[in-house]
Amino acid sequence: MSTAQQTVDARSSYARIPAAFKLQFTVPSMLIWVPLLVFAAAWVIAVGIGVWIHAVAGGQTEPIYTGAANAPLWTLVAMAAYAASHTFPFSMALSYSRRVFVIGVFLAFGLVSLAFGAAFALGAGVERLTGGFGLEVYVFDLPYLTQGAGGVASAGALAAGLCLFLMMFGFFWAILYRRVSITMVWVVIIGLVIILLGAAMLVTQNSGWATVWRWFVEQSALSLAGWMVLPVIGITAVNYAVIRRATPG
Amino acid sequence: MSGNTASTAIQVSGVSRRYRNTTALDEVTVSFAEDQIHGLLGRNGAGKTTLMSIITAQAWPSEGQVRVFGQAPYENEQVLPKICFVREDQRYIDDSLAKHAFKAAAAAFPNWSWDLAERLIADFKLPQKTRIKKMSRGQRSAVGVIIGLASRAEITFFDEPYMGLDAVARQLFYDRLLEDYAEHPRTIVLSSHLIDEIAHLVENVVVIDAGKILLDEPVEDLRGRAVTLVGKAEAVAEISAGREVLQHEEMGRIARSTVLGALSEAERQRIKDLELDMIPVSLQQLVIHLTTRQAADGNANTALTSAEENAR
């Protein structure tokens, strides 16, 4: 179509993506303040436990590697599911197409994931510089994440990629629940379990576990982060397919 | 049909919507003219919300098609920003305040007016610091009504806007709606079962029952289409002879008959001579009579009688 044919108020079909993106931050507690709170709390608690161990053990102990960094990650997954179930009906009242809504969600979750990855890398950097606050308590600077190519930055990249995938996965369950009955949700869960079991059996039958483990060992945090692109694209496409036929009522 | 003078904003053609065991809409064909206020009337469960959901692409038909400004609205960002449909039971973002909802709406609707929104917030005395989920029913309804009005969307649906609003707030809504409509004409669809309450607002009436369109006419054509005569039975019988009688009651020698069809000047004179009382039939009663007559089964009868009771 030539531009002359277009009326003055003709808009791009993607003109409302920035607004759909901002929709996710309408109530900033959901994707910003609560995850930040959990992030800070998990870190403080982990370091606090380290201080306590030092006090009890009386002096030098082995370095402590904790899984506290999981806490903000799973908080974000829960918040992503929550956001989907609450912003979707409202986005319908605001007359967003489902496509624009999903793109907005993807961009918002993407930004949050990048922020999480950056915070992860920053935390790892601080721990590296201070030797785990002089106590050797590590929440982020975990050797298997930060010793490969790219160092702490690669750990941040993997954290960001994993975070985006898990957030879209949390979103998937919430949207699926909107679309189908609770029975169907469980059918899907059972189906996924069967597929995973089938894959595991196939690997076992072909004595392939050694190959699988070798593959993982050969990966660095950076290359794993690169591989995350595939499941992220996959789950985003699945989410759009599910939401296309979801109703807000 | 009213679509002759104005152009058509919404065209619904042969739309059916079936759920597993029920048919919510049954081959509905109806159009809504541009820049008019339409009343979409029917009892709860008649198919009003389903029809509005399909027009606004929140849901989709099992069969048939919908055109909004000539385009299919589903996943169509050229048309969707021109439509606003806040459900009666609309879900908002958890923990959000009214201002959050309005900010989001302002970003979504190109014609949004903050001036109007702020005026309405003051008019409805909407609390600023109460989370929407903690609001009263009326306050929640007001949030939806404010989004609907301030969006100034080319096509705006109000889904039972009186629900939860008290009489004063309802009047306020009707006043503001008419004021803003006069300045910014647009297509408005009011869904309701309080027919008389919105009768003075709407220019066109669409009545839906059990998933079927029973009536689609300009209000003007409906007014004066029926009259109720009260007086001596034989005098009432004289006038109503040859006319379709919608309702007839007799108490002793006094009869009360609602008849269809406009009266001629001679007939009016004769009614005077016979000392009959002539009571205009309200839109609500007319719709009840017409739909009761047209309903194939007894459903519409009980349906609209209950609507009448609710109105009282």
pLDDT digits (tens, 9 = 90+) for B64-76: 999 999 999 999 9
Residues 6+ apart with CB under 8 A from B58: A92, A247, A248, A249, B85
Residue B57 tokens, joined: 């692409």
| Chain A residues with CB-CB distance to B144 below 8 A | 93
Mutate which: B76, B88, B91, vs A, most A CBs within 10 A: B91
Torsion angle defined by CA atoms of residues B141, B143, B145 and B150, in that order, rounded to the nearest 10 degrees = 180
Residues 6+ apart with CB under 8 A from A42: A68, A69, A70, A71, A72, A139
| Chain B residues with CB-CB distance to A96 below 8 A | 80, 108
Whether the pLDDT of residue B304 is over 60: the answer is no
Strand locations in chain A, DSSP E? 64-65, 137-138
Q: Tell me the percentage of chain B whose pLDDT exceeds 90.
A: 58
The whole-angstrom distance between residue A36's C-alpha and the CA centroid of its chain comes to 14
CB contact under 8 Å between B59 and A249, yes or no, is yes
Pairwise CA distance, residues B161 & B212, whole Å: 22
What integer pLDDT is reported at residue B289 of this predicted model?
Answer: 77
Handedness of CA A91, A97, A102, A107 (dihedral sign): negative
What integer pLDDT is reported at residue A160 of this predicted model?
Answer: 96
CB contact under 8 Å between A244 and B78, yes or no, is no
Q: Which among A130, A155, A135 is positioned nearest to A143, based on CA atoms? A: A155
Residues B228-241 have a mean pLDDT of: 90
For residues B214 and B102, membership in a common domain is answered with yes
pLDDT one-digit tens code per residue, B23-36: 999 999 999 999 99
CATH of the domain at B115: 3.40.50.300
For residues B193 and B269, membership in a common domain is answered with no
For residues B141 and B244, membership in a common domain is answered with no
Whether the pLDDT of residue B301 is over 80: the answer is no
Nearest-Å Rg of the Cα atoms of chain B is 22
Q: Which among A93, A10, A100 is positioned nearest to B156, based on CA atoms? A: A93
What integer pLDDT is reported at residue A184 of this predicted model?
Answer: 93
What integer pLDDT is reported at residue B187 of this predicted model?
Answer: 97
- Is B181 among the domain residues? yes
Pairwise CA distance, residues B141 & A202, whole Å: 57
- Is B68 among the domain residues? yes
Residues 6+ apart with CB under 8 A from A79: A30, A31, A34, A35, A170
Distance from the B253 Cα atom to the nearest Cα atom in chain A, whole angstroms: 54
CB contact under 8 Å between A87 and B57, yes or no, is no
pLDDT one-digit tens code per residue, B38-59: 999 987 788 999 999 999 999 9
What integer pLDDT is reported at residue A9 of this predicted model?
Answer: 54
Whether the pLDDT of residue B242 is over 60: the answer is yes
- Is B31 among the domain residues? yes
What integer pLDDT is reported at residue B157 of this predicted model?
Answer: 96
Whether the pLDDT of residue B107 is over 90: the answer is yes
CB contact under 8 Å between B77 and A249, yes or no, is no
User: Considering only alpha carbons, which residue of chain A is nearest residue B59?
Assistant: A247
Residue A15 tokens, joined: 């003109």
State the SS3 of A30-93. HHHHHHHHHHHHHHHHHHHHHHHHHHHHCCCCCCEECCCCHHHHHHHHHHHHHHHHHHHHHHHH
Whether the pLDDT of residue A4 is over 70: the answer is no
CATH of the domain at B272: 3.30.70
Contact B72, A60 (CB under 8 A): no
Distance from the B79 Cα atom to the nearest Cα atom in chain A, whole angstroms: 9
CB contact under 8 Å between A86 and B94, yes or no, is yes
Handedness of CA B253, B258, B264, B268 (dihedral sign): positive
pLDDT one-digit tens code per residue, B146-176: 999 999 999 999 998 777 899 899 999 999 9
- Is B100 among the domain residues? yes
- The continuous run of DSSP H or E covering A19 comes out as helix A17-23
Residues 6+ apart with CB under 8 A from B76: A13, A97, B57
What integer pLDDT is reported at residue A59 of this predicted model?
Answer: 67
What integer pLDDT is reported at residue A6 of this predicted model?
Answer: 42
Torsion angle defined by CA atoms of residues A116, A121, A127 and A128, in that order, rounded to the nearest 10 degrees = 170
- Is B1 among the domain residues? no
Lowest mean per-residue pLDDT among A18-22, B5-9, B129-133, B190-194 = B5-9
Report the b/e string of B105-124 with b at 16+ CB within 10 A: bbbbbbebbeebbebbbeeb
What integer pLDDT is reported at residue A63 of this predicted model?
Answer: 86
Whether the pLDDT of residue A49 is over 50: the answer is yes
Cα distances (Å, whole numbers) of residue B297 to A141, B210, B292, B307: 74, 10, 9, 17
Burial of A197 (0-12, 13-18, 19+ CB in 10 A): exposed
Residue from the list B77, B83, B93 with its beta carbon closest to the beta carbon of A86: B93
Whether the pLDDT of residue B275 is over 80: the answer is yes
In this structure, how many other beta carbons lie within 10 angstroms of the beta carbon of residue A109?
28
| Higher-scoring residue by pLDDT: B117, B311 | B117
- The continuous run of DSSP H or E covering A211 comes out as helix A209-218
For residues B35 and B178, membership in a common domain is answered with yes
For residues B19 and B93, membership in a common domain is answered with yes
Q: Which among B202, B176, B171, B173 is positioned nearest to B189, based on CA atoms? A: B202
Q: Which among B305, B298, B262, B261 is positioned nearest to B284, based on CA atoms? A: B305
Pairwise CA distance, residues B33 & B204, whole Å: 9
Whether the pLDDT of residue B193 is over 90: the answer is no
* Average pLDDT along chain B: 87
Whether the pLDDT of residue B312 is over 80: the answer is no
Residue B247 tokens, joined: 């309702």
Q: Which among B221, B215, B267 is positioned nearest to B240, based on CA atoms? A: B267
Question: For chain B, what is the domain count?
Answer: 2
For residues B201 and B279, membership in a common domain is answered with no
Q: Which of B173, B196, B219 is the last residue of a domain?
A: B219
> For residue A157, how many C-alpha atoms fall within 13 Å in the half-sphere facing its CB?
18
Q: Does A218 touch chain B (CB under 8 A)?
A: no
pLDDT one-digit tens code per residue, A84-99: 788 999 999 999 999 9
For residues B112 and B165, membership in a common domain is answered with yes
Q: Which of B150, B184, B219 is the last residue of a domain?
A: B219
For residues B177 and B49, membership in a common domain is answered with yes
Pairwise CA distance, residues A14 & A162, whole Å: 27
For residues B187 and B303, membership in a common domain is answered with no
For residues B150 and B245, membership in a common domain is answered with no
CB contact under 8 Å between B92 and A86, yes or no, is yes
Residues B219-235 have a mean pLDDT of: 86
Residue B187 tokens, joined: 């297509």
Mutate which: A11, A95, A103, vs B, most B CBs within 10 A: A95
Contact A78, B94 (CB under 8 A): no
Question: Looking at chain A, how many residues does it have?
Answer: 249
Cα distances (Å, whole numbers) of residue A185 to A76, A79, A182, A190, B191: 21, 19, 5, 9, 34
Residue pointed to by tokens 């690669």: A154
| Chain B residues with CB-CB distance to A18 below 8 A | 107
What integer pLDDT is reported at residue A241 of this predicted model?
Answer: 94
- Is B2 among the domain residues? no
pLDDT one-digit tens code per residue, A168-226: 999 999 999 988 989 999 999 999 999 999 999 999 998 889 998 998 888 888 889 99
Whether the pLDDT of residue B144 is over 90: the answer is yes
What integer pLDDT is reported at residue B24 of this predicted model?
Answer: 93
Residues B82-88 have a mean pLDDT of: 93
For residues B103 and B180, membership in a common domain is answered with yes
- The continuous run of DSSP H or E covering A6 comes out as none
Q: Which of B160, B195, B219 is the last residue of a domain?
A: B219
β partners of residue B216: B206
Residues A98-104 have a mean pLDDT of: 95
Q: Does A40 touch chain B (CB under 8 A)?
A: no
| Higher-scoring residue by pLDDT: B53, B296 | B53
CB contact under 8 Å between A90 and B93, yes or no, is yes
Report the b/e string of A224-242 with b at 16+ CB within 10 A: bbeebeebbeebbeebbeb
**Domain span including residue B249:** 222-311
pLDDT one-digit tens code per residue, A125-157: 999 999 888 888 899 998 888 887 788 899 999
Residues A37-41 have a mean pLDDT of: 94
What integer pLDDT is reported at residue B297 of this predicted model?
Answer: 43
Q: Which among B312, B292, B310, B294 is positioned nearest to B302, based on CA atoms? A: B292
Torsion angle defined by CA atoms of residues B10, B106, B148 and A94, in that order, rounded to the nearest 10 degrees = 60
For residues B195 and B264, membership in a common domain is answered with no
